[in-house]
Structure 1
């Protein structure tokens, strides 16, 4: 089976009468001079649009114009394979075999390139020249030849900055679509890896690739992804986050329902489980759908370490999730509403620390949490050389000064520090953001209703998560609905030889993925 690669161009529908007249004005003319004038006017005589003119004198006397965009093309390819050959051919006394159409000769025999397309209208012509392709226009022909010569400067493959691992591949995606697809193809050499390309954005004409394993991914999920992407009608897609917001589920939830990663191994692992990968040109982050709640607590290195170590780290992440979400609210509830639940020595210690603090515990917690959020954002926006220093020094200085000035208690500083550290343990940054937002809601509930309010808040949060869907798949699967077979790789990660099947909630096709038997230690020789 060959790899399926298609390209879809989206166009707005017009009335039939206006559509016919529009097509007539949009088609290329047989006059080369008229075509060049139209292109020049449409592109505003832009300095980076290069026009090179030639003439086939002997036998034909046909004028030829080569058009390309400087900076978006591979200079060597254009110069050696196109311009040099054309200039040599134009000087030959018999440049074209007799009784051979010049256009067909250039298209079929003369040009040496992997991808050659015939373009017959100005819309496709503009899209090709502004995408880095080189166009050859001939006089007396209402069509032209588009040659793939894209070769702009791109960032090299570097280690991902948002998903660092101790053990595992160190290369990440970059901003070039073809490079990112090659990184995926290099890891999955299966003819069932299908790639479909689409062009999104009336102004940006952004290339978007939908990647999936045809014999693994659910047909319903693939169809839903294509339907949502085809329904996008927007001027420009600059980054994958825009596309994510246009197609994701749960518009009234802070939780992400599409997973994003800049690691090729994570994208490949998602493909092998039946997910669909969406690659957007111009961003190093690819999107994975469907995305599940448990997926955001799994790190790529979980599958590179021993299963017992990986299971311990996963449990630690779930514990840190609840610590980051509930520690400030539980502290407020115990010190404000349920003081009788604290041991007497601890209550006396906390009361002594709060002596002289002018604010109630909830206001104190809000002030410290907001201060830390400001420091966190300042550290992100500051230059790398001073960002970490500003955040660390700012936290130490402000925290110490606030305690000495009597604005907050030292115990509150400890609570905020534990909360912040627990929040950083999330493998995916997208899951830490809703936790930061919900933390403030739980603090308000705890100040009014105490532990009972926290309990009701957790019940409401659980119901909300269970109602979410990601491209038709339950967001909390396989925890609810509970699937025993899938628990081998959810909260715990059991040995590889036990992971026989792919996740059943993703797809019912080709579920068997591992037939390796359990290792049997050799008996000692006598």
Structure 2
């Protein structure tokens, strides 16, 4: 694994040499003191794209000093641009600064410190910084005679409003969900955790299109070694672009080739806030409503916000149902195949006679029956997801009923197999997390083949192998099966069951980072970091 990662990294760097040479020769050039030269060069750099808006104007009411505002249409808040360009740059207050000895530099500082009422202003003097500011939604102000520019934060444009979560629906609890704007997502968490120790660190990842990535954690509760490891893995990312949190997940997870998800993702701010309060680290990526949580344990995928919004007895009952449903979704068809094929003596006589009579005339063995029905069910489920919402559910429900009834009447499958597949499919929807349900769907086919080949012995060996594999997994130094393996009695209060709130106020002991047991192997890269933390060699 480590060899192939190193080989891919070296090949990727060789293929990116022309691009990096362009960045060195073109992107780091300084601005010109001539305004028209800067404007012409800006148009050329963006390929004369029509969405690059350049507004020329004169500063003050009595001055002939030329200036220009450059921004990208669709990425900015036009009201903010009209406010500070139309009102402040054309006001009489600027005439006072034009009478100084060095009018260009003094005016630049006057605009930045007094005239522009924007909460975030930066001064820049290179083309790479100026173009990146425009592409980020900022407005760049150029002044004739100055080789520097001012970048004003005017990010805006059309954005999706805060709405209800569509992936993790709750009956009782908050209804808001994250959006595609990273600033809005962080604000939703800060609204719930009003503590100055909630620290935020920002970096940019991507060589072609840098993407804003942030980590959020509660200083004093989150383990310092865990935070350093998160920074380390981010520094070692060398990729062209980040389009979704799934890209980050594959680059920083401890083990890639495993069917079990080792990083939790959600679009609910209340789940992220609860995990941060427990000492975990949240990873935000600009452009996606899903946020990652590290470290992650197996029992985390069976916890729902409803568990903490209802009484503990009802929450415990529902959580146990989820575990049972997960077991059924993996083992259901495999157990049926093993009983019908090898262990008929374990079935009661009356039930056995009924099953044998229902299978009379079926030309296929139990494994082929199960594979046909399971594959048909998976195809219908995928079709229902991809089709328009108005007809997707109808197609999946009607298709399952029609196919099941037609298959039984044609004598291709038995009615008992249809019942087993239906129960298995329904049980797979009981998991609160979608990615753990995908794991059950994949492992189901492996156990079906083992059951058809070796009976109950094959199911037992497959189960032992899966459990052994899960015990070997870690998520940022935390054992994946905690608190079951290694067993921790203290943390059983919110694992398989949930005790009352007054008994779980003490922080969990699971999130103790074990640096020496890390199976993840990082790769060095030339990634340059942009944070402000200063913690020995791990700062960025």
- Assess same fold via TM > 0.5: yes
* CA 1:59–1:80: 2 relative to 1, 3 Å: closer
Structure 1 unaligned regions, length at least 5: 1-10, 509-526
Partner of 1:166: 171
Partner of 2:357: 352
Q: How does 1:48-67 map to 2 (within 5 A)?
A: 48-56=51-59, 61-67=64-70
C-alpha contact 2:334 2:448 (8 A) present in aligned 1: yes
Q: 2:98 aligns with which of 96, 99, 103?
A: 96
Partner of 2:370: 365
- Mean CA deviation greater in 498-507 or 429-438: 498-507
C-alpha contact 2:60 2:92 (8 A) present in aligned 1: no
C-alpha contact 2:61 2:92 (8 A) present in aligned 1: no
Deviations 1:30-79 (A, max 9, x none): 22222222211110111111111123488874321111111111111100
> Does the alignment pair 1:404 with 2:404?
no
Q: 1:131 aligns with which of 136, 139, 158?
A: 136
* TM-score, normalised with respect to structure 1: 0.90
Q: What secondary structure sits across from 1:87 in the alignment?
A: coil
Q: What secondary structure sits across from 1:198 in the alignment?
A: strand
Q: 2:73 aligns with which of 66, 70, 85?
A: 70
Q: 1:30 aligns with which of 28, 33, 41?
A: 33
Q: How does 1:39-50 map to 2 (within 5 A)?
A: 39-50=42-53
Partner of 1:265: 270
Q: Distance in 1 between the 2:61 and 2:497 partners?
A: 76
* CA 1:56–1:128: 2 relative to 1, 3 Å: same
Q: 2:113 aligns with which of 91, 105, 108?
A: 108
Partner of 1:486: 491
> Does the alignment pair 1:384 with 2:386?
no
* CA 1:443–1:34: 2 relative to 1, 3 Å: same
Partner of 1:503: 508
Partner of 2:204: 199
Q: What secondary structure sits across from 1:277 in the alignment?
A: strand
Q: Distance in 1 between the 2:372 and 2:425 partners?
A: 14
Q: Distance in 2 between the 1:238 and 1:211 partners?
A: 20
Q: What secondary structure sits across from 1:211 in the alignment?
A: strand
Q: Distance in 1 between the 2:454 and 2:191 partners?
A: 56
* CA 1:19–1:171: 2 relative to 1, 3 Å: closer
* CA 1:46–1:84: 2 relative to 1, 3 Å: farther
Partner of 2:466: 461
Q: Distance in 1 between the 2:352 and 2:136 partners?
A: 68
Deviations 1:469-499 (A, max 9, x none): 1111111111111011000010010011111
Q: Distance in 2 between the 1:154 and 1:20 partners?
A: 31
Kindly state the Cα deviation for residue 289 of structure 1 after the two structures are TM-superposed: 0.7
Structure 2 unaligned regions, length at least 5: 1-12, 514-540
Kindly state the Cα deviation for residue 352 of structure 1 after the two structures are TM-superposed: 0.6
* TM-score, normalised with respect to structure 2: 0.88
Q: What secondary structure sits across from 2:275 in the alignment?
A: helix
Kindly state the Cα deviation for residue 244 of structure 1 after the two structures are TM-superposed: 1.2
C-alpha contact 1:89 1:95 (8 A) present in aligned 2: no
Q: Distance in 2 between the 1:58 and 1:491 partners?
A: 72
Partner of 1:155: 160
C-alpha contact 1:216 1:507 (8 A) present in aligned 2: no
Partner of 2:342: 337
Kindly state the Cα deviation for residue 94 of structure 1 after the two structures are TM-superposed: 5.5
C-alpha contact 2:200 2:216 (8 A) present in aligned 1: yes
Kindly state the Cα deviation for residue 85 of structure 1 after the two structures are TM-superposed: 2.4
Q: CA RMSD in A?
A: 2.2
Q: How does 1:206-225 map to 2 (within 5 A)?
A: 206-225=211-230
Q: Distance in 2 between the 1:435 and 1:389 partners?
A: 24
